Structure 1
Amino acid sequence: MRQSIPSVAYGTVAQVIVEGKPTVSLPAELRYDSSDPYAVCLSLGAPLTSPIDWLFARGLLAAGLHMPAGTGDVQVVPWHRGHPDCVRIVLRSRADEAAVAVDTSTVRAFLLRTFELVPAGRESVHIDLDRALAGLLEDSE
């Protein structure tokens, strides 16, 4: 019998802002899977288009509710100027940058549920080391 992996998914609508282009509303989903306990996924576009998934640290998303967090491809910023109810998730690639505005209450509810599944500081208990090692060995062959 296969053990089910607890997960969380919250659907919402995100405002995608790219400099010099009109703001676009897209379906979005925040996902968390306890088998990858340090990460969250922001999926944009489905079912309207092929989804674009960004995987980043759950701690980064949580910290970004209160103060700017992150310096790399993903930065999370509480957006207070004119948008007090949104969190801005800035996504960067080599060529482009987009800000994704998501309702703060949705992000808070999502994070609360993830921390109920896997409390902060207990992530390592949920990592299947045998599976991770097998994956590393597979990749090296």
Structure 2
Amino acid sequence: MTRYIDQMLYMELVLMQEEPGVPVLTRLRYDAHDPFAVSMVFHTDVNGPVSWSFARDLLAHGVLRPSGQGDVRTWPTGEGADALLNLALSSPHGAARLTAPLAVVTRWLDSTYRLVPMGQETDGLEFDDELSRLLHGAA
């Protein structure tokens, strides 16, 4: 049984309003072992891959309307085939804004909900095992 879903795409790093963006090869990843999260791995030539993980629900809301606060914010712009998902990321090391084709992200996101439907994220989790793993990993 498939336990993860990957999608490769080019996102565009937005530099300035009037300047063209920089394409960034990106891997969207969803792993059913971490059912509440999605990750994006940005393949950069400068520092190697950069990975961000955040709530799947944040992305699901962000393809429809502005969502998120703080480190990760998402919002849609445009309509039809030209619609984009905007992703704003910030950390103590800097900030970036990227865009991706909204239809591609939405199709991939829909496939994650087919793998682990909304409301069933905890069905396969063993809380005692997870708690033990977390506690032993912290020691």
TM-score scaled by structure 1? Answer: 0.85
4+ runs deviating over 3 angstroms: 18-22, 46-49
Does 2:109 match 1:111? yes
Distance 1:131 1:84 in 2: 45
Does 2:27 match 1:26? no
CA RMSD of aligned residues (A): 2.5
Say if 1:51 and 1:128 are closer, same or farther in 2 by CA, change over 3 A: farther
String of CA shifts for 1:59-82, please: whole Å, max 9, x gaps: 00010011100002000111239x
Say if 1:11 and 1:46 are closer, same or farther in 2 by CA, change over 3 A: farther
Q: Secondary structure at the match of 1:123?
A: coil
Say if 1:130 and 1:46 are closer, same or farther in 2 by CA, change over 3 A: farther
String of CA shifts for 1:21-76, please: whole Å, max 9, x gaps: 86211100110000000000011016886210100000000100111000020001
Structure with higher strand content: 2
Distance 2:24 2:47 in 1: 9
> Which ranges of structure 2 fall in alignment gaps of 5 or more residues?
none
> Which ranges of structure 1 fall in alignment gaps of 5 or more residues?
none
- Tell which deviates more after alignment, 124-133 or 45-54: 45-54
Contact 1:77/1:88 (CA < 8 Å) preserved in 2? yes
Q: What residue in structure 2 maps to residue 96 of structure 1?
A: 94
Contact 1:36/1:127 (CA < 8 Å) preserved in 2? no
TM-superposed CA distance for 1:127, in Å, is 2.4
TM-superposed CA distance for 1:84, in Å, is 4.2
* Percentage of identical aligned residues: 29
Distance 1:89 1:119 in 2: 24
TM-superposed CA distance for 1:94, in Å, is 2.0
Distance 1:25 1:140 in 2: 38
String of CA shifts for 1:74-119, please: whole Å, max 9, x gaps: 00111239x9421001101124211110111111111110000000
Contact 1:27/1:47 (CA < 8 Å) preserved in 2? no
Specify the code of the residue in structure 1 equivalent to 2:4.
S
Say if 1:119 and 1:47 are closer, same or farther in 2 by CA, change over 3 A: farther
